Amino acid sequence: MKTRQITLALTTCAVVLLAFALTASAQLDKLKDTTPQQRADAQTAFMQDKLALTVDQTPKIAALNLKYAEKMDPIIKGSSGPFAKMRQMSEVNQEKEAELQQMLSADQFQKYLASKEELREKLEEKFAEKAQGGGQ
């Protein structure tokens, strides 16, 4: 009985990981069709809306977003698998967040982290739907 439970748990994990990989791969494929400038502009617009950037902050944040969108480009368009890409992207994001924290007020940075968490939760919901066969 214990072996059956372990097998079921491992199978469930494998299905979830497969759904994650397929969804992550699809998301990365969509990003391949965008330029670093387009991604940076979208990030800046999102941050202006969510963080109420000041007139002084906006060009600095836009430059930072472009810098890191350019760093992400070879990862996004590379031939590594989705898990390797996600790991590399996470490393680049950590660098970016360290710089971002210096540019934003404490309140803005907390709002940034909250928005990031909200997006992560939405992605996890999509992954769960895919794992259950309900998503596109």
* CA-wise closest residue to 78 among 32, 37, 33, 26: 32
Helix H, strand E, coil C: the string for the chain is: CHHHHHHHHHHHHHHHHHHHHHHHHHHHHHHHCCCHHHHHHHHHHHHHHHHCCCCCHHHHHHHHHHHHHHHHHHHHCCCCCHHHHHHHHHHHHHHHHHHHHHHCCHHHHHHHHHHHHHHHHHHHHHHHHHHCCCCC
pLDDT, tens only, 26-36:
556 677 889 99
pLDDT, tens only, 51-69:
999 999 999 999 999 999 9
pLDDT of residue 134: 59
pLDDT band at 10 (very low <50, low <70, confident <90, very high): very low
pLDDT, tens only, 65-122:
999 999 999 999 999 998 899 899 999 999 999 999 999 999 999 999 999 999 888 8
Kindly report the pTM of this predicted structure.
0.73
